[in-house]
Amino acid sequence: MESQSRSSILILMIAIVMAVSVVATENVLADDVQENISVIPGRTITPAEERSMARSAAHVLRYIADARSAIAANDIAKARSDLLQALNLIDILKLQQPTAKVRDHIWVARKHLDYESTEEVTADLVPIEADLIEIEDFVPVEKARKHIRSAGVYLKKGDKAGAKKELKAADAALIYTEVDLPLSNTERQIIVAQKALDNRQPAKADKALKQAEDGVQILSIALTAPITKARDSIWQASKAFAARNYAAAKADLAKASEWLDKAAHSTDKTTREEAMKLKEDLVKLKMQMNMTAQGAGAGLSRLWQRSQALVERESEKASAAWGKLHGEIATKEDLIEAKLHLAYAQTAQFVKGKSEEVRSELDKVQSYLDKAVKTSDKALKTKIHTMINELKQIKANLHDKSRKALSRYDKLKADIRQTIHDL
């Protein structure tokens, strides 16, 4: 019964991840905020995509449950077959992510390096750049773009090895937090189970699969949390506002307000406090919209950006909680908080905020990075010191709203996101 319950939760979780993956709009912050476009978040999945993903997710869990049953019956061949099927379905789910097309083009370019001229492979970079432009409103792409351009430099020099290394790094930099974290955790444990079966360690394999279920159960709590529901309602309000349907926007904000009230009772202190701050901003925004819709776009954009940052934190915190159970380092939690406040500072600097708010948020980023240094190993210390140096450049330009200043934020946020993902 316990196994069935966990499986049900896991099925629900993966389906919900796919259904509510309303993606971040980091590059909506422009040199000058434009009222008519600054509040439109990136695309979400269609109902057809949602149904397809839900079916695939359900089958993933079925194969994991079947594999555990086969292990208990000492039918190792059947267990291996079930786990292979589960991994194949995870690959199908990955293909339905917004990063799938650009990753395919990167893969083609890497393969072409084995037998094509550098001139031919240089041409492969053109569709990759186009792909990045297509998804930049809802997936962080700055770091990937930098690696692609570095690959181009290597190709001009005729250095295929250097180009291949940069292309591989570009692929790794395309992190879509709300989907990548749960899928990678599940995939990792399935691979551990496969290796255990190859080494004739069925008990270890079953333990790995149980850990995968436990880990995703923790993630499901974060991804179905009230703050996520609030974010989704804000997204709906943004769509309605962009369509000038102000009555619908107000109704969606009212729903968001109800979810924020629930989030304010979270066991997590940061979630409680930030939910209350979001509620205050939401109330002010609704009052402004009651008087006039003019000028409300920036406030709605700010609300969206901050709620999205909190949702991403929920996913990462849940992952960190899972990792803590299985021996991962505590540095991850400090990096998660640093990235949250970096996102807040970026929103304040480029959407709607004061320099005092920007400075306060960046000071918090500094504090969390300093804490992370103290608990990290030598290799990680070097990475975090690099982040601290990047932060210094940002802190020196609190009033700069140029594209270059925005890129500094995007790069540092991408560096922290990548490190969190790798821990």
C-alpha to C-alpha distance for 421 and 423, rounded to whole angstroms:
6
- Name which of 165, 300, 163 is nearest 244 in CA terms: 300
Other C-beta atoms closer than 10 Å to the C-beta of 187 total: 19
User: What pLDDT was estimated at residue 35?
Assistant: 35
Q: What is the largest CA-CA distance in the chain?
A: 70
**pLDDT bracket for residue 129 (50, 70, 90):** very high
Of these ranges, 88-97, 264-273, 291-300, 315-324, the one predicted with the greatest mean pLDDT is 264-273
Mean pLDDT of the chain: 80
- Name which of 4, 3, 6, 1 is nearest 218 in CA terms: 6
225: tokens are: 């949390």
C-alpha to C-alpha distance for 217 and 142, rounded to whole angstroms:
32
Taking a C-beta distance cutoff of 8 angstroms, is the pair 174, 103 a contact? Answer: yes
C-alpha to C-alpha distance for 84 and 197, rounded to whole angstroms:
12
Of these ranges, 114-118, 217-221, 305-309, 404-408, the one predicted with the greatest mean pLDDT is 114-118
The count of residues in the chain is 423
| pLDDT higher than threshold 50 for residue 44 | no
Each domain of the chain, given as residue ranges in start order, spans: 2-36+44-97+177-222, 100-173, 227-247+258-422
Identify the weakest region by mean pLDDT among 124-128, 189-193, 250-254, 329-333: 329-333
Identify the weakest region by mean pLDDT among 100-114, 294-308, 339-353: 294-308
- Name which of 229, 121, 217 is nearest 166 in CA terms: 121
Mean pLDDT of 62-89: 92
Mean pLDDT of 43-53: 53
- Residue 388's alpha-carbon distances to 172, 300, 382, in angstroms, are 22, 31, 10
User: What pLDDT was estimated at residue 221?
Assistant: 61
**pLDDT bracket for residue 179 (50, 70, 90):** low
DSSP code for 28: G
User: What pLDDT was estimated at residue 178?
Assistant: 60
Other C-beta atoms closer than 10 Å to the C-beta of 200 total: 9
C-alpha to C-alpha distance for 125 and 372, rounded to whole angstroms:
36
Taking a C-beta distance cutoff of 8 angstroms, is the pair 43, 176 a contact? Answer: no
| pLDDT higher than threshold 50 for residue 402 | yes
| Exposure b/e, 370-404, CB count within 10 A at least 16 = b | ebbbeebeeebeebbeebbebbeebeeebeeeeee
* Tokens 């970079």 sit on residue: 125
C-alpha to C-alpha distance for 144 and 175, rounded to whole angstroms:
10
Q: Where are the alpha helices (DSSP H) in 264-330?
A: 269-291, 296-325
**pLDDT bracket for residue 57 (50, 70, 90):** low
356: tokens are: 């005092």
- Name which of 18, 24, 16, 30 is nearest 309 in CA terms: 24
User: What pLDDT was estimated at residue 404?
Assistant: 87
**pLDDT bracket for residue 77 (50, 70, 90):** very high
Other C-beta atoms closer than 10 Å to the C-beta of 54 total: 17
User: What pLDDT was estimated at residue 13?
Assistant: 40
Q: Of all residues in the chain, what percent carry a pLDDT higher than 90? A: 37
User: What pLDDT was estimated at residue 133?
Assistant: 86
| Exposure b/e, 75-96, CB count within 10 A at least 16 = b | bbeebbebbebbbebbebbbeb
Task: Burial-class residue 41 by CB neighbours within 10 Å (0-12, 13-18, 19+).
Answer: buried
Mean pLDDT of 124-130: 92
